[in-house]
Amino acid sequence: MSVLVVTGGGRGIGAATARAAAAASWDLCLGYRADRAAAEAVAADCAALGVQTAVVQADVAMEMDVIDLFVQAEELGPVRGLVNNAGIVTPRKTVAELESEDLEEVFGVNVFGAFFCAREAVRLMQRDGEGGAIVNVSSRAAVLGSPGEYVDYAASKAAVDALTTGLAKEVAGDGIRVNAVRPGLIETEIHASVGRPERLVELAPTVPLGRPGTADEVAGAIVWLLSPAASYVTGAFLDIGGGR
Ligand code: NDP
């Protein structure tokens, strides 16, 4: 079977995507940065569905970690898919308050990490000549700008969007599709990670569907974009924001 690499596969959208991809018969290589136990628990759920799994420590901001992640993924089988999911938000600041360390951190993970992973995946897919599919996890913030809280994050996700557009055209001739999802307000730990769990409640009334989304609701769209059902979709952006 074909191997799907999911970065940040231990929790939130990455974990939900891994489980949904296992249900669609993908073998899974789950990358994690810090929480091995969480990633192993997700891998166990996937293995229970009859697919092969591997769990690999990889900080996506570290180029050598990413290279090793794909070496280990290949040991499972041919890599035909990547979900560039790992991402961070830095604590709320205006642009006037940002330090260079904030920018290095958020761009290191969200932009350098996405580029390193996309590059390694494309190299393997081009070498094998069998095509593949990449889904980048962007954000509605790339379009909305997140003024007053996360403009640095929004700009990093706009870079992910440009990666999606450009790479899709570069590798279309190799049978590799590259798309992005732009989640809106999704119930995961990312909000608490920057001390703002209340954001989910505060912003819910601004969502036309009237509630935050779930990680499973994002995962379903990602797995569809990876699937043969999306065989004519590349360079596309799928907003999953409840209409916001
Ligand atoms: P979580 O905070 O729940 O999960 C983030 C994941 O990224 C964790 O698995 C974490 O791994 C991993 N991660 C963080 N930094 C690194 C790193 N340097 N190297 C490898 N892995 C890393 O957040 P979500 O599930 O919500 O976020 C997933 C993606 O969705 C992100 O790209 C985020 O920007 C995007 N998104 C989320 C939205 C939301 O409202 N939740 C909205 C729009 C986009 P570990 O646990 O091992 O540290």
What is the domain count for the chain?
Answer: 1
Tens of each residue's pLDDT in the chain, 244 residues: 799 999 999 999 999 999 999 999 999 999 999 999 999 999 999 999 999 999 999 999 999 999 999 999 999 999 999 999 999 999 999 999 999 999 999 999 999 999 999 999 999 999 999 999 999 999 999 999 999 999 999 999 999 999 999 999 999 999 999 999 999 999 999 999 989 999 999 999 999 999 999 999 999 999 999 999 999 999 999 999 999 8
CA distance 214 to 206: 16
CATH code for position 141: 3.40.50.720
If one residue of 163, 186, 190, 202 were mutated to test the ligand 1 pocket, choosing by the most ligand atoms within 8 A of its CB, it would be 190
How is residue 119 written in tokens?
A: 């590059």
CA distance 121 to 115: 10
Identity of the residue numbered 76: L
Catalytic residues: 153
Predicted structure pTM score: 0.98
CA 26-126-222 angle, 5° bins: 35
**Could you list the residue range(s) of the whole structural domain that residue 194 is in?**
3-240
Separation of CA 60 and ligand 1 centre (Å): 11
Which residue's alpha carbon is at the smallest distance from atom 2 of ligand 1? 190
CA distance 13 to 94: 27
Q: Which of 78, 4, 82, 80 is nearest to 43 (CA)?
A: 4
